[in-house]
Amino acid sequence: MKHTRAANSTILTDNMNDRLLKRYNHLTDVSLKDYSTFKIGGTAKYLFQPLSLFEFTGLIQELEEDRIPYHIIGRGSNILFADEMKTKCIIVTSSLNQIGTRENKIIAECGAPLRSVCYTCLKDNLSGMEGLSGIPGTVGGAVYMNAGAYGFSVDRLLSTVEVFNRKDFSFETLDNRECRFSYRNSIFMDSDLLILRATFVLERKETANEIEILMSDFERRRAEKQPLDFPSAGSVFKKPHDNFYPAKVIQELGLKGFTVGGAGVSEKHSGFIINRKNASSEDVRMLIEHVREKVIEKTGIFLQTEIKYMD
């Protein structure tokens, strides 16, 4: 889950209120390379790791009231952090990871790894999430961007989302329709609604055999096709429409293996940019722009990124 509140701030995070630092679990001067699957990023002056949803929403409310800029992240699996961070307050949801099942439903907190949710489904013979098992993000991030793979997607499975409204500090529950899902998009990308917990409706099977076979097959496909041996943030570019595959066009342009500094277009899958050797954030951004320019020259289409830049 990723959300930014940095505009129109009147208080710098360097002047963080002492009561916040005393009340909430945090670290100081933390390298964000350790919180990004890209292994790229500068230093966070304050890194908060709330231990409960109550603590999470309490922290958010106090930051909002004091107008302190912050970023929220899950596992940092589709984030590119700046080499020098302007926003010094980062909130990590990794401790908000409770998962439970009820009949044919699974309920998971925003920081729960999607992989853990899928394996809980496997344990309880619940089918429907098999294709999502290799996505290295959290439930919050998956709902936020309507994650999907191999024909499986969040919008086809989600029943309700419990949210915290950062405008009036209220709690709400949205149904699937109210989330306004579309391809790699949702209402959460442009609103004050913060994802807390999600409920998915699945199909219960008599045994887990079929579920396990499907999950193993999808995970094998990922290992064969994706550059999992290098740090990356997953697929870089969104499909502009159903019949346009960015990786195919990038490959046709001869850009496989093209590098800028320590960043490179993967030779295994041209839809990925990898951290080949101590890449900087600027290396990755320059490479993205180079690929975009070449694609525009060939097709006239501007590619939007799935990766989110945070500074």
pLDDT of residue 3: 46
| Strand 272-275 relative to strand 263-265, pairing | antiparallel
The token pair that represents 159 in the structure block: 């029943």
**Phi, then psi, of 177 in degrees rounded to 5:** -60, -40
pLDDT of residue 10: 37
Mean pLDDT (the chain) is 93
pLDDT of residue 7: 38
pLDDT score of 181 more than 50:
yes
Residue 167 in domain: yes
pLDDT of residue 17: 73
The answer on 256 and 182 residing in a single domain is: no
pLDDT of residue 15: 56
The answer on 126 and 194 residing in a single domain is: yes
pLDDT of residue 2: 44
The answer on 197 and 104 residing in a single domain is: yes
The token pair that represents 278 in the structure block: 């101590």
Three-state DSSP class for 21?
helix
Three-state DSSP class for 303?
coil
CATH number, residue 267:
3.90.78.10
- Looking at 92, 118, 138, the residue that finishes a domain is 92
Query: 113: Cβ–Cβ under 8 A, 6 or more apart, which residues?
Result: 75, 97, 136, 137, 138, 139
Burial zone of 254 (CB within 10 Å; 0-12 exposed, 13-18 middle, 19+ buried): exposed
C-alpha dist (Å) from residue 259 to 80, 83, 245, 293, 296: 17, 18, 21, 15, 19
- Looking at 151, 174, 209, the residue that finishes a domain is 209
Residue 216 in domain: no
Residue 141 in domain: yes
Reported as a pLDDT band with limits 50, 70 and 90, residue 195 is very high
| Strand 70-73 relative to strand 89-92, pairing | parallel
Sequential DSSP letters for 168-194? TTEEEEEETGGG--BTTB-GGGGSSEE
Look up residue 85 and give its amino acid. M
Burial zone of 26 (CB within 10 Å; 0-12 exposed, 13-18 middle, 19+ buried): buried
Supply the pTM of this predicted model.
Answer: 0.92
Reported as a pLDDT band with limits 50, 70 and 90, residue 8 is very low
Task: Please give the average per-residue pLDDT across 76-97, as a whole number.
Answer: 97
Strand order in the sheet with 259-260: 232-235, 272-275, 263-265, 259-260
Task: Please give the average per-residue pLDDT across 114-133, as a whole number.
Answer: 95
Active-site amino acid positions: 184, 235, 306
Least confident of 13-27, 53-67, 211-225, 286-300: 13-27
Look up residue 122 and give its amino acid. L
- Count the domains in the chain: 3
Among residues of the chain, what percentage have pLDDT more than 70?
Answer: 95
pLDDT tens digits, one per residue of 282-307: 999 999 999 999 999 999 999 999 99
The answer on 118 and 70 residing in a single domain is: no
C-alpha dist (Å) from residue 188 to 27, 143, 215: 27, 8, 28
The sign one gets for the Cα dihedral 102, 108, 109, 112 is: positive
The answer on 245 and 262 residing in a single domain is: yes
pLDDT of residue 19: 81
Task: Please give the average per-residue pLDDT across 208-227, as a whole number.
Answer: 94
Q: Please state, in angstroms and rounded to a whole number, the distance separating the CA atoms of residues 258 and 17.
A: 46
Task: Please give the average per-residue pLDDT across 167-188, as a whole number.
Answer: 97
Three-state DSSP class for 16?
coil
Q: What angle do CA 90, 50, 92 make, to 5 degrees?
A: 35
The answer to whether 181 and 155 are in contact (CB under 8 A) is yes
pLDDT tens digits, one per residue of 98-113: 999 999 999 999 999 9
Of the two residues 15 and 127, the one the predictor is more confident about is 127
Residue 176 domain boundaries? 99-209
Of the two residues 151 and 43, the one the predictor is more confident about is 43
